Structure 1
Amino acid sequence: MSGVSCDTLTDDYSLPRFFSQIVSKRIRGVSEAKFYFDKSIANLHSPFCFESMKGCISRLSAAISKKENVMILSDRDADGLCSLSLMNDFLKAKGVRAVLRVSDDDDGRGLNPKIVESAVESSVSLIIMLDCGSTQKEEIAFAMGKGIDVMVLDHHLMRSDSRPNCIVVNPKSSSCNYPFADLSACGVCSKAVWAYEFSQLDDYDRELLFADASLTGEKGSMEIIAMRNFVSGEVVTVHFDSFDNLLKSGFIEGMKGRRLFVLDDNALFRFLSDKLEILSLKSIAGRISNEAASGDLNRLFDKFRNRMMASRPVEVLLWLYKRCYLRLHPSIAGDWLRFLDLAAISAIADMVPMREENLILVKLGLDQLNKRCRKSLLGFLSVKSLCEKRIDENDVAFSIAPAINAPWRMERADVGLQLFSQSDLNIIDIFSREALDLNDKRRSFCRNFMDRIRDDVLNSISESGGNLTCIVSGELPHGLTGLVANALKNEYGIAALTISTKGGAITGSLRLDANAAEALAESSSLLSDFGGHASAAGFRIDSEDKIPSLICNIRKYVAALPKTNVVQSEYDIEVKWQDIPDDVFEQLDMVSPFGIGNELPRIMVSGISPASFDIIKGKERPHLQAALSVRNGFSIQCVFWNKGDMLAQINSYESVDAVAVPRKSFFKGNCKRYFEILEIIGRF
């Protein structure tokens, strides 16, 4: 995947070598590197790259100005609830009180006639659908036929035959030019809020120009970029042999009426100053009241002028302008950050690829989450394992997100809705405890269910020729079909299909290393509804008679997939233990947050002396540890859990190499960093 060498990142961009060795394997081009080393909102794509964003904020503006009755309808999972909470907080701050709904358990996800009739009874004039709706053409048409406008903010795969005829903001739309398709639904919502706030500023829909000139006397060239609503165009280069001839060319005449931003006040721009409105970027920085902030910007000028993260000076100028502008307008910077704790939880919970924008949204969102300001999350953050530590992506993935998802998975979606719609801390505490209790019950059920179906799973694998695990159950809660499918896929390493017939309704989930939604599309005649993501999709069936045909079709689809023998690298980076940098953990933090597509780095530490190892006591089995004194005052502890019995074998080697991953442990509020050994290779 990589199109960048480690040397390029270290030599051309002055990035640390250890960091560069890891990141160079994870990016497609130099432009992606900034998402790792500079997690600033200035590096986020403009929301106005979405095809329907202007229509979205126009409709939001009308609803806000007229204080319309609005219904927010979201999916029931963590992404949907976070989206609902974000949009509700935003509208409430604008004086709009919304009716809050989540998808009905009985009638599937998204909009249905029962919800539409409820909206009519509440005199709702706008339904905002979050994390759902992208394929509900007929249902949305029904609502619009009742005189209700509908707007969809979603991230699920879309189908051309069922695209709604309303405002749809979805990065996966085939006609959308948004540069990054893998946002969560809550990430899309956060973009809509940013766009609305920007639309209230004077520079909304105003074209700005940015220019840089190279001169030899009066001869030279000028590079110009136009930008509107933080969306920039291509670089235009103009060559001239004198200032007067540049004027005569008519090019300058076409720039009149627009602001021209420059970094250096050179002879050309002084010559043009009485003909164009020319502004120095450094003068903008001077308007920032905080001297420290201004100092940061001045350092950025020098830093980026020298390092040239962009390919051209004018692109650096544009980037610096965005940074300055965001510092000057809190509504699209600091104030907007308060929504990102929800965006971070949704991205981690929905397992979107941890790449590009998601790295920034999740990093800034985790910073916000650790301020512990959101009432609806306090019950989860106060549990013993989280109350005295900094929350990271692992805590969200394994503690917070499962607790948010548990209510709907255990057929109590009302608990999740109440949790994210209440403001009274006592009521929130009650629903938090109930959600945590449901999560315990969910764990217990899944553990027991997986044990009970073991023989059925093995039989289904045999029947499919080893390509598919398939379970049909009348006791499996509909909300757990996806979790069980994930567990089966992870355990057996093949595609998984789970179907629940509990209570008469028939729903299911498909997980495979291919386009799951496409696989279901080939059986659309058997399904009453379906949708999802590339490797995970869900569906509904209206008759048990259709289940055998669906299973047969999925088996054929999976069997026809090309067989790939993917050999994954055993490690990301090899380093002699003496060469581990003093700031190794700080450099690893630059690579985080970790997740799908940005996994925890596996580090091969080579040349370790067996004398470095000893045994430490464990609860059940002894552990193996090594203390590596890299240099004066700096050492790294390595632990191989439950492998203390390997010490004699290790002592027989001349040296050992260890494949390890970085870990954190917390005790009484203190964080300890260490390497967890995954594998040891002996050298004679």
Structure 2
Amino acid sequence: MLFKWNYKSPATEEKQAADELGAKLNISPILALLLMRRGITTESAAKRFFHPQLADLINPFLMKDMDLAVDRLNDAMGRKERILVYGDYDVDGCTAVALVYKFIQQFYSNIEYYIPDRYDEGYGVSKKGIDYAKEAGVKLIIILDCGIKAVEEIAYAKSLGIDFIICDHHMPDEELPPAVAILNPKRPDDTYPFKHLCGCGVGFKLMQAFAKNNGIPFARLIPLLDFCAVSIAADIVPVTEENRILAYHGLKTLNQNPSIGLKAIIDICGLGGRDISMSDIVFKIGPRINASGRMENGRESVDLLVEKDFSHALAKAKHIDEYNEQRKDIDKQMTEEANSIVSKLESQRHRSSIVLYDENWKKGVIGIVASRLTEIYFRPTVVLTRDGDFATGSARSVTGFDVYSAIKSCRDLLVNFGGHTYAAGLTLRWDDIQEFRNRFQRYVDEHIQPEQTEAILNIDAEIDFRDITKKLHNDLKRFSPFGPGNTKPLFCTTDVYDYGTSKVVGREQEHIKLELVDSKSSNIVNGIAFGQSASARYIKSKRSFDIAYTIEDNVFKRNMVQLQIEDIRVAEED
């Protein structure tokens, strides 16, 4: 892939400020510059960034309707009403349900949970779910990671004497459902200071408020923070401000004393004994929690997450791991089919978006396929499959483009839709796909910027190999947890050479294992370039080249670093 490198050299004043901040913090000016470019310019702000404090979490009662939600929950418990914790079938929904259910269950037993079936009920609040609640004698439903658009369904529940507390983070419509309380920081009338909580994060804030109101020590919530870390990573929300605090302490819990269900998944993933990162959640833990909802029913994931016996949890985790293997096979097949369609559509090369549909594609995997196509073609992408007379689909976007607004512009064609800037879901009549495609693509053409459809690497700093010291690497780790809004720093080094021992590796000889030197020192640096074997011949020619990379731990050699090389570029001729 041909990446465009985007790098801004620091001005003299910026360098001087970085030197001063680095001296105060006892870190390299290179890293001080990274802090400054993240908006952290003072010693005190840097200390808060490096050591996020739970005491700095926002007062949950600043969220609109939080007092109403806590009062209704207290009333339900006081009247011994049956409570149903209801959530979406993805990672965010399942972790949110597990967190709220596990916390309330410590103080109240008349409670159960419910995850709708993706294939039988679809996304969000279903009539079937409400009917189940009625039959079970439920009087209060706490719904997590969905519900913000369920106006008719919640009105129906209200007619049956069932109240709702909504905990959601998706974009609300003009009309809000008739719930007792709607907790969503994206409400236009909500002044809550942080707008980017995930669904599990909103659920956590409800439990934080409930604990505060009832004199329950905050320490009782800390064991549940691993669920927050998993949902923040998997739902790809900004890892800044309140999310950074929750993710930082959630990762601590995940590494030191994870819940039994997550411990079982960690063991199944082969992550035991390792320092688990946000990246491990995104690529290993999250997909397994997601797999049961994609292949069968997400309830199995919640069953695992709330399990109290490790041997039972391990058996459930193995079962979910089998779902994940099935999901990977279907995902690969569908992506290949979709890729083939795109490559045959000559017109797509000149379009700024992709809309594909196939009535045989599996509903639970189309979101992954949309993500894959977005990564390959750098276009906002919608992938649809058939469900009776309807098409149901998922949309994914590129950096900086609001795909939710693009879909909303076609709302008169849609039966249902929801989501946020970078990911959305939609349902429309099968016969309306062509009209939707035309209008969606027209909207994207009119609103997307040319640079948003380019493969761009944003370089944080240009450094030499002599700068890559053990101290720099250890200080760099303090920037974690990484994610949107705080991405892992990307460095570049120019005019590097093969030490003579680099080689192609991998089952299909698709990767390059590198040993490199530069002209500024005698340091030999190890690196791995995944999927870049096409550059191997040039590298072995002894000519110089430039690399863009992140600095990682070498998992095979303790106390050594390894460069994960994102791009290799032939050095420009003088």
Query: 1:234 maps to which residue?
Result: none
Counterpart-to-counterpart distance in 2, 1:64 and 1:517: 38
Unaligned runs of 5+ in 1: 202-329
Aligned to 2:358: 473
Note closer, same or farther for the CA distance 1:95–1:470 as it changes in structure 2 (3 Å cut): same
Deviations 1:161-215 (A, max 9, x none): 24444301111111111122111111111122122222234xxxxxxxxxxxxxx
Residue type matched to 2:224 in 1?
Answer: F
Q: Which moved more, 1:416-425 or 1:380-389?
A: 416-425
The structural deviation recorded for 1:588 is: 0.9
* 1:55 and 2:68 matched: yes
CA deviation after TM superposition for structure 1 residue 98, in Å: 1.5
Matched ranges for 1:62-141 at <5 A: 62-105=75-118, 106-141=120-155
440, 446, 449: which one aligns with 1:563: 449
User: How far did 1:546 drift?
Assistant: 2.2
Shift of 1:335: 3.2
1:291-350 deviation per Cα after TM superposition (whole angstroms, max 9, x unaligned): xxxxxxxxxxxxxxxxxxxxxxxxxxxxxxxxxxxxxxx922x43221110001001111
Q: CA deviation at 1:6?
A: 6.4
**What is the aligned partner in structure 2 of residue 184 from structure 1?**
198
Contact 1:624 1:644 in 2 (8 A): no
Q: Distance in 1 between matches of 2:518 and 2:145?
A: 48
Aligned to 1:228: none
Deviations along 1:650-677, one digit per CA (max 9) or x if unpaired, are 4x55xx7643311124349x56432234
Could you tell me which amino acid in structure 1 is paired with residue 526 of structure 2? C
Deviation at 1:389, TM superposition (A): 1.2
String of CA shifts for 1:525-546, please: whole Å, max 9, x gaps.
Answer: 22221100112110122x3222
Task: Describe the shift of the 1:522–1:9 C-alpha distance in structure 2 as closer, same or farther (beyond 3 A).
Answer: same
Pick from 418, 430, 434 the counterpart of residue 303 of structure 2.
418
1:661 equivalent in structure 2: 550
Measure the CA separation in 1 of the matches of 2:363 and 2:226.
Answer: 28
Which letter maps to 1:495? P
What secondary structure, in the 3-state scheme, does the structure 2 residue paired with 1:160 have?
coil
Matched, 1:23 2:56: no
Q: Which residue of 2 aligns with 1:298?
A: none
Who is 1:352 aligned against? 237
Instruction: Measure, in 2, the Cα distance between the counterparts of 1:570 and 1:77.
Output: 30
Task: List aligned pairs for 1:430-579, cutoff 5 A.
Answer: 430-460=315-345, 462=347, 465-502=350-387, 506-513=391-398, 514-541=401-428, 543-565=429-451, 568=456, 570-579=458-467
- The code of the aligned residue for 2:515 comes to Q
Matches within 5 A, 1:359-378: 359-378=244-263
**Distance of 1:680 and 1:458 partners within structure 2:** 26
Partners of 2:442 and 2:269 lie apart in 1 by: 48
Shift of 1:85: 0.3
Give 1:232-243 correspondences, 5 Å limit: none
Q: Is the 8 A contact 2:396 2:423 kept in 1?
A: yes
CA distance 1:78–1:7, change in 2 (3 Å)? farther
Classify 1:598/1:65 alpha carbon distance in 2 versus 1 (closer, same or farther; 3 Å): same
Which residues of 2 match residues 402-417 of structure 1 at below 5 A? 402-417=287-302
Q: CA RMSD in A?
A: 3.2
Q: 1:29 to 1:584 in 2, by over 3 A?
A: closer
Which residue matches 2:3? Answer: none
Change (3 A) 1:188 1:611: closer
Deviation at 1:54, TM superposition (A): 1.7
Aligned residues: 547
Partner of residue 673, structure 1: 561
The residue matched to 1:147 in structure 2 has which SS? coil
1:342 to 220, 227, 237: 227
The Cα shift of 1:591 comes to 1.3
Distance change (3 Å), C-alpha of 1:356 and 1:60: same
TM-aligned CA distance change 1:161 to 1:385, over 3 Å: same
Equivalent residue, structure 2, for 1:624: 514
Structure 2 CA distance for aligned equivalents of residues 7 and 23 of structure 1: 14
1:488–1:40 Cα change, 3 Å: same
CA distance in 2, matches of 1:120, 1:347: 33
SS in 2 for 1:88: helix
Q: Which range moved further: 136-145 or 21-30?
A: 21-30
Cα distance between partner residues in 2 of 1:101 and 1:648 = 58
Map of 1:11 onto structure 2: 20
Q: What letter is aligned with 2:483?
A: G
Cα 1:613–1:163, aligned 2, differ >3 Å: closer, same or farther?
farther
Counterpart of 2:33, as a letter, is Q
What is the distance in 2 between the residues matched to 1:630 and 1:185?
49
Q: How far is the alpha carbon of 1:130 from its aligned partner? A: 0.3
User: What SS does structure 1 have at the residue aligned with 2:436?
Assistant: helix
Deviations 1:583-609 (A, max 9, x none): 11122112111222322211234676x
Percent identity over paired residues: 26
TM-score by length of 1: 0.73
- Following superposition, the deviation at residue 433 of structure 1 comes to 1.4
CA contact (8 A) 1:657 1:680 kept: yes
Q: Quote how far apart the aligned CAs of 1:547 are.
A: 2.1
Residue type of the alignment partner of 2:249: L
d(CA) in 1 for partners of 2:194 and 2:407?
25
Distance (Å, rounded) in 1 between the aligned partners of 2:220 and 2:381: 43
The answer as to whether partners of 1:134 and 1:163 remain within 8 angstroms in 2 is yes
**Whole-angstrom distance in 2 between the partners of 1:563 and 1:410:** 37
Any conservation in 2 of the 1:83–1:186 contact (CA below 8 Å)? Answer: yes
- Cα deviations across residues 450-480 of structure 1 (Å, max 9, x unaligned)? 2223332234561694222222112212121
Task: Establish whether residue 598 from structure 1 lines up as the match of residue 486 from structure 2.
Answer: yes
CA–CA distance in structure 2, aligned partners of residues 26 and 660 of structure 1: 19
Q: Give the Cα–Cα distance (whole angstroms) in 2 for the partners of residues 147 and 340 of structure 1.
A: 33
Identify the residue that residue 193 of structure 1 maps to in structure 2: 207
Specify the SS of the correspondent of 1:70. Answer: strand
Shift of 1:90: 0.7
Structure 2 CA distance, aligned partners of 1:389 and 1:354? 22
| Partners of 1:44 and 1:357 within 8 A in 2 | yes
Aligned to 2:451, what secondary structure does the other structure show?
coil
